[in-house]
Every structure is written in C-alpha cells, then in structure tokens.
Amino acid sequence: MSTVANRPVEAAQIQTRPVETVPVAAARSRMAVVRAYVALTKPRIIELLLVTTIPAMLLADRSVPSLWLMAVVLLGGALAAGAANALNCYIDRDIDQLMRRTSRRPLPAHTVSDRSALVFGLVLAVVSTALMAVFTNLLATALTVAAIVYYDVIYTMWLKRTTPQNTVWGGACGSAPVLIGWAAVTGSLSWQAWLMFAIVFFWQPPHFYALAIKFKDDYARAGIPMLPVVASLRRVGVESVIYAWLTLITSVALWFTGMTYLYGAIAVVTSALFVLEAHRMLGRIRRNEQVKPMRLFHWSTSYLTILFVTIAIDALIQS
C-alpha cells in the first residue's frame, strides 16, 4: 500500500525536475559567457601590470595620492590592459588555435565570436581612454593609448610574427604602467620613472624566455619565431643572464635616486637571487640537464612583486 501511495509523489517530482533546471542551465550559460569575456582580458597579466602602477604613483607623490585618482588610474589601467589583451586575442586567433596552451581561449573554443571579441576590445579601449582623459591629464592619457597601440599593432601584428627579438622590444608596453602611474600624479616623467620603466623592461626577457622554453613546440607549431624556437638553448640562457644582470643594475641604480636603505637592501638581495636563478638555468643548459625554466619564471614574478611592494613601502616611509 505504501509503495502505491508514493508513486504519484515520485511522478510529480520527476515531472518538475526539467522545469527547475531551466533557469539553472540558463544561469550557467550566462556565467560561462561572462567568464569567456573576462578570459579575453587575461586578468593574470593585468594583475602583474597593476602591481607596478601603485608603487609608481606613491613614489611620484612621495605620499599617498588622491584615492580617487588612484582608483581612476587602476580602473583605467585595468580596462586599457584588458582592451589590449582582448584585441590581442582577436588578432592572434589564427595562431591560438594551433597552440595547445592557447587552444582553450574563448575564440579558438568558439565561446565568443570573432566580431564580439573585436567590439569588446574596442569598447574597453574607448572607455579606458575616456576615463584617463577626463580624470587624469594629457600625458597619462597619451601613454595609455600608446601602450594599447604598441601592444596590438607594433608587437602583436608585427614584432611577434617577424623577429626573435619580439620579447625584448615588446617589453615596452609591459613597462608602460609605471610611466602612466607616474604621469597621472605629476603630469611629467622623471629619472626615477624611467628607471622603474627600465627595471620592468629588462626583467621581461628572462621572465618570458623561460615560458617560451616550456612552450617551445607550441610556438614552433604556430610559426612564431620566439628565441627558443630559432636559436639554441645556450643562447637563450646567455641572454636571460644578461637581462637579469641589467635588471639588477637598474634596480640598484634606483636606490641612488633618494631611496632608503630598506629598498637598497631588498633590491640587492632579490635582484641577486634573480640573477642567480638565471645563471642556474644556463648552467643546467650547458650540462645538458633538465632545463626547469619555470623555476626562473615563477621566481621572476615573485621578484618583481617584492621589489615594487618595497618601492611602495619606501615611498610611504619617506612621506
């Protein structure tokens, strides 16, 4: 009797399940689209760029700038970087589908249409430029626009596909947030701003060479002449060491522009460790051992973060 009595209830429950899952499925679909658009902006790269912006603003002001200005520059910078990255995804859609590392990006995966990605990137570029133009100054705005154009036109469309020095010269746009943050506060650029620019510029080749070594086959498959694809690993290792030393020199040089001993000590130690890791990778290459390039890649990220956090602390100490 109890089994028979329960049947209508079970049937009713079964009938209601499809109705209940419709809004859930729709919500999941919308979230998937949102995640795809966020992925177009490459948020991890944006985070690393913004790490250099705030310390530059603090050092430029020698105190804490207007919180409103900082918020605008961070938002404008994030949108500008997101725009550049979304447009990069649009331009590189032909090679992204050939590389395992990038084959799951929204365009190769057909989560977002090509046209939608292009419109999205252009809208972000316009909004970021408008924010900077209205709330900062002409120099900061011009540098923001220049960074977007350089990354998408000079680097993505030309350097990346034509020369193994793409990583080196492409570093200019990755270093631009330092100049943008400084210019937003002062309306000009000083030697300290250019030294911070140089730190990030020289830091980028060892950082990205390590990644390119790991994904060498991917780049070769896509026909991208990254240095590890067209040159020997020994040359890549030597160049990584050279640029690591240049990073150390510029990091220490910043110390002599009025920074405290706190910055000097941390700059010397962390830069020396960066150089040491580059030498270790070169040593493994010379001994024909497993290269382990991601050790240099991960430490380089930590190094840049520690150094620029120290710059921020140093600026606050001196305020």
pLDDT at site 26: 58
pLDDT at site 28: 63
Which pTM was predicted? 0.89
* DSSP-assigned states of every residue in 76-113: HHHHHHHHHHHHHHHHTHHHHTT-TTTTTSTTTTTSS-
Encode pLDDT of 84-121 as tens digits: 999 999 999 999 999 988 989 999 999 999 999 999 99
Q: Which of 47-51, 150-154, 171-175 has the lowest mean pLDDT?
A: 47-51
pLDDT at site 63: 84
Residue 231 has pLDDT above 90, yes or no: yes
Q: What mean pLDDT do residues 6-35 have?
A: 59
pLDDT at site 25: 58
